[in-house]
Structure 1
Amino acid sequence: MTAEALVVDPAAARWAATPGAGCPGPDAPLLVLLHGYGSHEGDLLGLAPHLPGGLALAAPRGPLLGGPGFAWAPLATPGRPEPGGVRAGADALLAWLDADARVGARPVALLGFSQGGLMATQLLRARPDRFAAAVVLSGFALDAEEPGDAALAARDPRVPVLLGHGDADPVIPPGATTRTAAWLASHAALEHREYPGLAHGIDARVLADVAAFLSRTLPVD
């Protein structure tokens, strides 16, 4: 499959909800969970019990094979992937979102881990007015100028973004994280959290901050 032909398989996407009072209605906020390189659509659904109640969840599968699982873009120099592949992955995700009737006009937020975090930042740049909030965990932003960057920075109020990562991450270079934090600070309403001793992963501190962030930024009843 070429980069120009990437397709997110709607049949592979998993839909769920965070625990709460009943099933979220059609207007409930949707949180799109974007897995990392080599993982799969079920990976981040395990976070559901730790997230605010009343959220609809959608977990798509990356359109590429990668490692033992799937990917959104080809693996390259850590923190500096080839831009064309990243844009193709984001375009495929947007096409999937646009085509699924369950998305509708509800508020949509993004939560991405590692390469999924890269995709979350890229979706914000591709559709500056589309998303209500984003969580980027152990991820980074593409090191390139994008056509939507100026519109994203001009959004008023700016889209809230939580960037969380460990200071002992052996996968994402510190330079990529520093660059991403600076870029987000100039284009979004950034909340930046660095976790001492955390490697490339998610722990209780991260989950607490994510839950608090989503509770503040999404209209959950």
Structure 2
Amino acid sequence: MRPLSFTHRYEPALTPDQPPLLLLHGTGGDENDLIPAGRMVASGAALLSPRGKVLENGMPRFFRRLAEGVFDEEDVKARANELADFVAEAREAYGLAAPIALGFSNGANIAAAMLVLRPETLAGAVLLRAMVPLSDPPRTDLTGKQVLMLSGAMDPLIPADNSSRLAAQLQGAGAEVKHTILPAGHGLSQQDLSLTQNWFLNL
């Protein structure tokens, strides 16, 4: 098999009835970061975990930013399309259905961008500590797509109105969004994992 366009890790499904997970790490993470979380929340699912191609001070990310919380939106668009193309390659190579994205921070933001730019790529998404990736997103139809958003009430990086705006954008496009604000900061908590696990059980 020819090499795919992203450095990645792939773990085959253990049970056939769960949708695959596309694991998208935060800044400074890599393709190994979210494998344990993926196994915890969807124990039998196939796991596809790419490494972001953008380096910020040596730390992998999925797109460039101009400053903390200020995204290079042209790069967001280009990288979201590039990642969507990789997902299509990987689906063909590994025989996968459309995955559900499980993204944290920068990974959640690129997942949100893929939802609005390439909605056919994802069956749904779990967005952990996500922000609005595009200030003026294109009109898109997300009818039937399930999205779980988990935000932190004490998150120093993401203003509460920003995550609420993203939830409203996705709902406005037809997605079924469950947005929960946890008593947490920017880091992931055990509550994030248990809520995500319950959400998967009820899909």
Q: Deviations over 1:77-133 (max 9, x none)?
A: 444412111011111111111222345451311011111111111111122233221
Q: Which runs of 5+ in 2 are unaligned?
A: none
After TM superposition, the structure 1 stretch with the greater mean CA deviation from structure 2, 178-187 or 198-207, is: 178-187
What residue is the counterpart of 2:10 in the other structure?
15
Conserved? CA contact 1:80–1:142, under 8 Å = no
Of residues 110, 114, 125, the one that matches 1:119 is: 110
Of residues 26, 40, 43, the one that matches 1:50 is: 40
Q: Deviations over 1:33-57 (max 9, x none)?
A: 0011222111111213421222000
What residue is the counterpart of 1:194 in the other structure?
181
| Structure 1 position 173, deviation (Å) | 2.7
SS at 1:65 equivalent: strand
1:84 paired to 2:74: yes
TM-score (norm 1): 0.80
Of residues 120, 130, 135, the one that matches 1:144 is: 135
Conserved? CA contact 1:28–1:106, under 8 Å = no
Amino acid at match of 1:186: G
What residue is the counterpart of 2:165 in the other structure?
179
Task: Quote the Cα distance in structure 2 between the aligned partners of 1:58 and 1:80.
Answer: 28
| Structure 1 position 139, deviation (Å) | 1.1
Task: Quote the Cα distance in structure 1 between the aligned partners of 2:190 and 2:22.
Answer: 21
After TM superposition, the structure 1 stretch with the greater mean CA deviation from structure 2, 72-81 or 158-167, is: 72-81
Q: How many equivalent pairs are there?
A: 198
Amino acid at match of 2:88: D
SS at 1:150 equivalent: coil
Q: Which runs of 5+ in 1 are unaligned?
A: 1-7
Fraction of identical pairs, as percent: 29
- Alpha carbons of 1:105 and 1:204: their partners in 2 closer, same or farther (altered >3 Å)? closer
| Structure 1 position 65, deviation (Å) | 1.1
Q: Deviations over 1:117-173 (max 9, x none)?
A: 1111111112223322100001122233333x3323xx2xx3110010111111223
Conserved? CA contact 2:84–2:121, under 8 Å = no
Cα RMSD for the two superposed structures:
2.1
What residue is the counterpart of 2:89 in the other structure?
99
Conserved? CA contact 1:37–1:69, under 8 Å = yes
